Amino acid sequence: MKIFVVNAGSSSLKYQLIDMENEQVLCKGLCERIGVTGAISHKAADGRTYSAETAMPTHSEAFEAVVYAMTKSDAKVIDSFDEVSAIGHRIVQGGSIFKGSCLITPKALQDIDDLGALAPLHNPAHVLAIKACIKTFGEEKPQVAVFDTSFHQTMPSKAYMFALPYKYYEQYGVRKYGAHGTSHWFVSDRVAAIEGKDKKDLKIITCHLGNGCSITAIKDGVCIDTSMGFTPLDGFMMGTRTGTLDPSALTFIAEKENLSPADINRICNKESGVLGVSGVSNDNRDVAAAAEKGNERAQLAIDMQRYQILKFVGSYIAAMNGVDAIAFTGGIGENDAELREYVCENLAYIGAEMDKEKNKVRGEEIKISTDNSKVNIYIIPTNEELAIARDTLAIISE
């Protein structure tokens, strides 16, 4: 059984074909500049590659290029798309409607479209991709939606509500939805599997630290709180995003510089965070290198981000009245040994103890706390595509 996993943006489309017999990736690729010019780069698991510049006025032509790459090119991996059992789509915003993954029916497609108000950069693009799939692969090919938000739908209202006038929640659905849900779900499942325990019996904190960053508290097997909010801007400092800050700082700057809401959105999402403070880069590796050479703002950016991560971890320990396991994932979480050491050292008060040798390991699933540690600390490389493929298989098997 083969599952085609799609992560579509407005002008790009990432895909993987996964053989569910052994959960191996058969090929992966990327279509770019959809709607402008069009290009595909495709790689089979054995290393063969195919790339081409080909007109992609819409997502339909992009999918046709993917089908060619997978079935006919020098890097083909199947004879026909008929071998593909279903398509699993990553969907950014499921609002309060979608509590889990679902088969994409006309009603579900309409709901995903309507939720575009909450995710204007993402949901409309997902809808275009789903419609293009119907056109390219036919209505019979099952399509499943897997939402970034659904893992967080178990949060209690005291965690997801903002202390704004209640009418904004009622009228516009303004509340915390969270993001990276598929990753937090995958990683917390792995923690429970490694621990050999039922997830319901564990208090877990998962730290997804990449370009976007979020931390989630999982108790009784479900998410009880997460750092991202109404949008993925909330939480703590990221590559280019502010994370939480006093909103009146923004109204103050807006008045001083005569900025519109769109300007504020741009500044907070694209020009802030590690990039905004350091003035160097949004990539932690560049910023760390600059700090090493004595750049004080670069060092400040690193110190701020680490401190904010620590505070979120600490607040979730308080929210759960303890923690059994903490897992790090994402580009920063998997690679930045100093960050993990800093967090662990500052959790000595709850008996956390790091094995410094194991903490040097990169990109591998490993327990990095000592056997004496009261909290088990892990590096767990995330695999959102596999999680989407697994859920897609589960939904079509129902």
Output 84 or 212, the one with its CB closest to ligand ADP: 212
* 212 in contact with ligand ADP (CB under 6 A): yes
Q: What does the alpha-carbon distance between residue 111 and residue 96 come to, in Å, rounded to a whole number?
A: 11
Residue position matching structure tokens 């904010």: 308
Give catalytic residues, as residue numbers.
148
Among 93, 240, 278, 284, binds ligand ADP (CB under 6 A): 284
Q: What does the alpha-carbon distance between residue 332 and residue 283 come to, in Å, rounded to a whole number?
A: 9
Q: What does the alpha-carbon distance between residue 287 and residue 351 come to, in Å, rounded to a whole number?
A: 31
Output 72 or 285, the one with its CB closest to ligand ADP: 285
Q: What does the alpha-carbon distance between residue 94 and residue 231 come to, in Å, rounded to a whole number?
A: 12
* 331 in contact with ligand ADP (CB under 6 A): yes
Output 132 or 313, the one with its CB closest to ligand ADP: 313
In this structure, how many other beta carbons lie within 10 angstroms of the beta carbon of residue 278? 25
Q: What does the alpha-carbon distance between residue 361 and residue 341 come to, in Å, rounded to a whole number?
A: 13
* 227 in contact with ligand ADP (CB under 6 A): no
Q: At what angle do helices 181-195 and 384-397 cross, to 10 degrees?
A: 90
In the complex, minimum distance from the CB of residue 112 to ligand ADP, in angstroms, rounded to a whole number: 22
In the complex, minimum distance from the CB of residue 101 to ligand ADP, in angstroms, rounded to a whole number: 21
Which 237-266 positions form the footprint of ligand ADP (CB under 6 A)? 239
Nearest of 392, 89, 58, 325 to residue 184 by alpha carbon: 325
Output 54 or 295, the one with its CB closest to ligand ADP: 295
In the complex, minimum distance from the CB of residue 137 to ligand ADP, in angstroms, rounded to a whole number: 27
Q: What does the alpha-carbon distance between residue 242 and residue 299 come to, in Å, rounded to a whole number?
A: 17
Output 99 or 362, the one with its CB closest to ligand ADP: 362
Strand partners, 327: 206, 378
* 330 in contact with ligand ADP (CB under 6 A): yes
Q: What does the alpha-carbon distance between residue 129 and residue 135 come to, in Å, rounded to a whole number?
A: 10
Which 336-375 positions form the footprint of ligand ADP (CB under 6 A)? 336
Q: Which stretch binds ligand ADP (CB under 6 A): 10-18, 109-117, 244-252, 280-288?
A: 280-288
User: How many residues at the interface with ligand ADP, by CB under 6 A?
Assistant: 12
Strand partners, 53: 39
Among 332, 343, 379, 389, binds ligand ADP (CB under 6 A): 332
| Rg (alpha carbons) of the chain, rounded to whole number | 22
* 324 in contact with ligand ADP (CB under 6 A): no
Binding positions for ligand ADP, rule: CB under 6 A:
210-212, 239, 283-285, 330-332, 335-336
